[in-house]
Structure 1
Amino acid sequence: MAGEVSALVARAQAGDAEAFGLLYDRHVDQLYRFLSSQVRDRQTAEDLTSETFLRALHNLSAFRPGGDFGTWLTAIARNLAGAHESHTVEFPVAEVHLQAEPASDPATTAVDRLAHAALIAGVDQLSAPQRQCIVLRYWRELSIDETAQAMGKTPKAIKGLQHKALNALRGLLPSGVVMPA
């Protein structure tokens, strides 16, 4: 998959509009979800998603072969969201979905959904950098290095930020809510 993305990036850098369209299709949903976690307004998230891809297209020559295109897009999006929102950003519960399949038992499904809502509400109370770290690490499933690149920090700083965020989250959640692993 990484090789396929690298080939698409190389084609797009050579001026192949169809290749850039395929890159857009591959990354737009994740990028929108990330931006939705940074700004509360759906229209703003859509606008910032479009702006991210526009900037990526205009600066495609700056992307280095061997880099992770999704992480590069996330860094652009993070910068745009940061420029747009100078105040504390809320985490939109409606934009984050359960990763696991619903249980066959309706009571278990209801408990799982309540726990999920409590987790999202807890994340919403974290500081903006902590929230961004948690979103990138657990919802976008980026590695420490990819998160560091996307946030413009060192991997060591991300490890510390993640540790502080998880500790803060533990104090915000009711007992019985499962924390991210």
Structure 2
Amino acid sequence: MDQILIQKSLAGDRKAFEKLYHQHRDQVYGVLAQRLRDRDTLDDLVQNTFFRAFKSLHTFKGDALFSTWLTQIALNVYRSHLRSVQSRQNWLQSAEDPEAISGVLRDYDKMDDPVRFVQDKERAELVRRSIKKLPERYRKAMWYRYVLDWSYEEITQALQVPLGTVKTWLCRARRQLKGEFRKLGLQPG
């Protein structure tokens, strides 16, 4: 049954892939639910699993059961999620180091004005707190764009969302940070 639906999906029949989704969703959900407790994240990873499966369906050779192949994709999505969470945590922790926040401290070793140095450290802490207030998806997008200097296309692939979504998230994150900075009395630069 799966093989027929796979062939139809490859031929462009969206309803066939929907059937595959409905037949295997609970299995994928169960595999991921054993590892995750957050329902929103769980739903996102299930969706990402089927998105990747759809994109990679042409690589399914039929040597194993479709359910086995799909489970492997789910586990890979989960591992990618863990790496992303760990990287983001490392980034946020590094934000506690004022040097890690681009543009907040500039050559403080050479700084002659200790008052300015203390003010910059305080400013770095305020920036770090403001970043932590952003929704996780905004922080991810900002991290990829401004810390890793990734292109929009690389970000869309990593987050598995459309280009417009990435641009919206970045725009909203910048707007939210500007508002937060304004409230805190921080001026750009």
The structure showing larger relative contact order (alpha-carbon pairs under 8 Å, at least 6 residues apart) is 1
Q: TM-score normalised to the size of structure 2?
A: 0.44
TM-score normalized by the length of structure 1: 0.46
Higher share of residues assigned helix: 2
Based on CA coordinates, which of the two structures has the bigger radius of gyration? Answer: 2
